[in-house]
Amino acid sequence: MKMTTVCYIKRNDEILMLHRTKKAVDINKGKWVGIGGKFEPGESPMECVCREVKEETGLTLLDPELRAFITFNFTSPTPELSDWETEYMFVYTCEHFEGDVLDAENDEGILCWFPPDALPGLDLWEGDSLFLDLILHGAPFFAMKMVYEGDKLTSWSLE
């Protein structure tokens, strides 16, 4: 079981996304994702998301809002993907922060601001498109479960 956070940081009419291009072995390689990552021992979801955003962008979140809780179940059709495991992800948005993005490139990939209507054209996880659409259209807090076979979404449910 893996626990993670992700934050979709809003600036004016743009959202900060990360193109994961740097790590040789990366479940997100080639995908555009929000900013976040794995919990460190003892962290709360809020502590995790704030730390991850600071590490990856240099920004200090002022009022992140918990928007969704996502359960990902993975089944693997190939041996090289056999280490995928169930992941529980806390999804945040944040419109108020301090600082500037330190560098457009970091250890994980390239950071870029996009208008919300450009997100569907990016190489996103299929399930990310589903929950991002709900979040960007103002849905109240929700939980969602997604099942992937390899990198293909095979089922999902809004809980």
Q: Cα–Cα distance between 87 and 100 in angstroms, integer?
A: 30
User: DSSP letter at 40?
Assistant: P
Q: What sign for the dihedral angle of Cα 75, 79, 85, 91?
A: negative
Burial class (CB in 10 A: 0-12, 13-18, 19+), 101: middle
State the CB neighbour count (10 A cutoff) for residue 92. Answer: 26
Q: Cα–Cα distance between 27 and 57 in angstroms, integer?
A: 20
Indicate the pTM of the whole model: 0.92
Amino acid at 117: D
Task: Label the pairing between strands 35-38 and 2-11.
Answer: antiparallel
Spell out, as residue ranges, where the chain has pLDDT lower than 70: 26, 77-83
Q: Cα–Cα distance between 125 and 44 in angstroms, integer?
A: 25
- Per-residue pLDDT tens for 87-128? 999 999 999 999 998 778 777 899 999 999 999 999 999 999
Q: Are 111 and 16 in contact (CB under 8 A)?
A: yes
Q: Across all residues in the chain, what is the average pLDDT?
A: 91
What percentage of the chain carries pLDDT values higher than 90? Answer: 74
Spatial CA neighbour of 18 closest among 5, 4, 29, 3:
29
